[in-house]
Amino acid sequence: MWFSFAGFYLGTAISVVTGLQNGVGLTPVMGWMTWQRYRCNVDCVNDPDNCISANLVKTHADRLVSLGLATLGYTYVNIDSCWSSMSRDVSGNLVANETRFPGGIREVADYVHSKGLKLGLYSNMGPKMGDGSPGLNCNSSNCEQARRDINTMVSWGIDSLKVDGDFGADSIAMNESYPTVGGYLATASNRTGRPVVFECSWPAYTARQYPVQYRLMSKHCNMWRNYHDIQDNVDSLWDIANYWATTFDSREGRATGLPLVEFRNTGPGHFNDPDMLLIGQTPCPHSCQPPECPRGMHCGNLTEAEERTQFALWSIWASPLLMSNDLRTIPQHSVELLSNAEVIRVNQDRLGRQGKRVAYSAEFNTEIWSRDLDNGDVAIVARNVGKTSAVRITVPLWLCGFTNATQVDLRDILNHNNLGVHSVEYSLLVDPHDVAMFRVSVQN
């Protein structure tokens, strides 16, 4: 099989940017969040088991522990939008919805912490969040309301804060507003002694208007959203994969104007976030769907092969592993995939270097991704993008920094199989919409 070879940087010296100095997020965060599955379902009268509430968050915290996922590193339990009251209290402070969070966010944080887990929360840089509840309203370098809101949320004991950039946020001001909010967050967390992961949406809203200041962003954000929200279907997953492929392909990157600086400014403490994992999605427990439920749940699911593809790609990209699913009904095969310690080890590799596509065949709909690891190993993903037929993919090992004379040990880390000693190349058959994933080590 013939490949067009992308420009590649594996094996070259790339300096590590120091990033946000808060001591957290040094490897990609792992856990669960509400948004993709539950969206803004606030109907606790008709759908009490699936509405955004303290009960939903606590139940999923319990499941992270009982399924054994917490012990593997899935420790963040993140509440996205639709947690807040629609108005502030009489003193102008943020408050959680009193019906769905009767004990407030502090009570939920205490419960999550009692399980050995961490709580994440959501806000927006604009005056409102998506459901119309109060936002930070910060569009400059001096945002007193945002300072008060950050102090309030940190006082509740949160461990992570995602700040979106829509619904009235000024994208032109984000080079000021995000560092400002990041500074407020650092000051507040230093006061409490509880460091807080800061997720920004800075580049998602500015990249198509003017160049994003990635080096500046890496000093203030632990992770950042770059592209469209993931939706509960394979087409959305494929679109995101194509974005990352063409961003880091030197020729296609120049053609589309997508900056390689997105790759060079990632590392320990600061990572690109391609959005949530769809792994483990199951059908909705009721038939209520939009437009009847305009803020209804999203329950589309992937095939097992497509789930493997997402897990492999997110790990090769050094991306956060934040699933959004119903952990009460998650299939066993999805639990086993999410529990694959060898793939997690690649994702959590302390070098923190994001992998990229190093080979692509438009004719055969196949591609190869590669990532350097801290101990000198290399992780490889061979992907069949096609829908109908299995394809034999040949992986030239020189693409991954090895000479043709180098003897390497190959291990299939999705299936936990040693594949023996190889040099020059390795060939295998990959089913449609599926991947193979290897860890390559120089033979001792």
Q: Helix count (H) and strand count (E) of the chain?
A: 13, 17
Query: Could you tell me which of 124, 131, 83 has the C-alpha nearest to residue 103?
Result: 83
3 state SS of 66: helix
Pick the catalytic residue from 49, 89, 229, 374.
229
Question: 352, 350, 341, 358: which is closest to 317 by C-alpha?
Answer: 352
Residue among 79, 33, 82, 41 at smallest CA distance from 296: 41
Q: Is residue 229 annotated as part of the catalytic site, yes or no?
A: yes
Structural tokens at position 406: 């180098």
The pairing of strands 417-422 and 425-430 is unpaired
User: Quick one: which of 404, 399, 434 has its CA closest to 422?
Assistant: 404
Q: Which two tokens stand for residue 256?
A: 């589309």
Token digits of residue 95: 């408050």
Whether residue 49 lies in the annotated active site: no
DSSP per position, 375-399: TS-EEEEEEE--SS--EEEEEEGGG
State which H helix or E strand residue 417 sits in: strand 417-422
> What is the DSSP pairing of strand 425-430 with strand 366-372?
unpaired
Q: Which residues contact 422 (CB under 8 A, 6 or more apart)?
A: 397, 407, 408, 410
Helix ranges, 78-212 (H): 104-114, 144-155, 174-192, 202-206
Residue 319 burial (10 A CB sphere; 0-12, 13-18, 19+): buried
Which has the closest alpha carbon to 223: 249, 197, 194, 195? 197
Residue from 131, 149, 164, 275 carrying the catalytic annotation = 164
Residue 368's CB: how many other CB atoms inside 10 A?
Answer: 23
User: Which two structure tokens, joined as six digits, stand for 72?
Assistant: 């593997």
The C-alpha atoms of residue 165 and residue 169 are separated, in whole angstroms, by: 5
Catalytic positions, written as ranges: 164, 229
